[in-house]
Structure 1
């Protein structure tokens, strides 16, 4: 993917999620841009989590979930 193509796409959001159920806490730590062929992603993280799990969400799903 060319760098200028990345700017034209809405990125997926990357979160680290700690806890379960009502006690889970979501922290946005980066973004992911899908490859043009749809077979992968370019990922940019602002930090590296030491625990929890990574969750990648589509842009529309983020807005609906209020994240």
Structure 2
């Protein structure tokens, strides 16, 4: 098993459509920083056809609950 699959993801990926308070955020995957720190490895459960993809750091509470 690689380091990527052993470690908890550092980021969550969301598909976001709309703007402001009416924006719809859909969880679509996770991401890890690469060993050299120059990129990311993404695992997507869906690939949006419209909108945008937003990558956010995983919340500390989520990391603690997963440990």
Normalising by structure 2, we get a TM-score of 0.78
Computed over aligned residues only, the root mean square deviation of the Cα atoms, in angstroms, reads 2.1
Is 2:29 the partner of 1:24?
A: no
CA deviation map 1:31-57 (0-9, x unaligned): 111001111011110111010100001
Q: Which runs of 5+ in 1 are unaligned?
A: none
Match of 1:39? 38
Q: How many residues align?
A: 61
- Which stretch has the larger CA shift, 6-15 or 41-50? 6-15
Is 2:59 the partner of 1:60?
A: yes
Normalising by structure 1, we get a TM-score of 0.78
Q: Which runs of 5+ in 2 are unaligned?
A: 63-67
